[in-house]
Structure 1
């Protein structure tokens, strides 16, 4: 049975442009990490680019989505990185795969804890004392209205995210100093969200009578409504965090 393709238009599973990815890789590689740990890695594109830039480094990606992990493993093999890249299908909660010199946690703090302060504490324990953490975390650019929240994800609440100043403050309280603070642009959000749905939208146009079409259409319409509602309201911060010496 023909089914919708999944994520083939996406390079990164988040609002991250090629230009920003290049900047992040260059900045993070400057510290010459020997070990990279990617929490909620998906297909680990950023980790693989870092390993390309760091020919002596090894990387471990952790996720619970087998399909994404398989995509990452294939990419590692195609780029000659398989001997230095591991993709593990397991929960990140209480993971023993640390400390690492560089920890990536981009849009995945919930894999460590349902509460952001606790996730940040976990990240402090997963990074070596002279390492770095790249945290990609959502924040409210402004407080959403009740009507907006009702059109986002199920049970969306103002308390789901802090504002940017509070987010950075929480990182400091957890034992970090913010070396670099960036936020995803509207262009990056639109590129990501459009690419996220593009395969599905084309498939729906070509298979309107398919047995899976109704369910797929409902899911796509719900996702589009959500992101067009949080467009300009929900931001994503890329924080390069330095652990405070203990």
Structure 2
């Protein structure tokens, strides 16, 4: 990113929201997205065909921005805007996507038993199941960011762990002691020796993040992004005593 100097400090020469920076006066100039109607005072007596009106935001000695009255220019101050940066647009789109930590459930609730299947699941909503997409539009291109749930890893507290491909299925009484169809665990050791006599379960949602240029499909970036539950789920696991 090209930097400009003013008042002994460095500032970006171009800002997507503020426009071009002038080292002569410490101000940013950005063409107004919606131009004033012809004859408005912002034109300073000029005809709209002669140029454009620009927003003006100036740095103070302390670096703070102060808006000034819009100004007319026949030519763009600083020249035409630079080409869009796909990576920056991808991040801008991604920042508008909201993911949430999962709210966890297990059945049986309260106390499970060694050797009896435990069902694992979490509350479903858009922020925990996806996929979610958002688009940021620049001057020349648009970039769409997408997050897709790739899998869920449960830390079951006993050192085993479970990898699931879905949020899991809520337990229902008709299931009896059968295992979960898609996300469950079978404890082989009781929790009596654990802190508070319980295992504390957590789940991590593993998201795949991608961004592509809209229309062309050109890949901008791709990476993994984990989101872990912020409230561990306590579960007591007892052992069945066999009497001879």
TM-score scaled by structure 2?
0.25
Q: Say which structure is richer in strand.
A: 2
TM-score scaled by structure 1?
0.25
Q: Say which structure is richer in helix.
A: 1
- Which has the higher Rg, Structure 1 or Structure 2? 2
Q: Which has the higher contact order (CA 8 A, sep 6+)?
A: 1
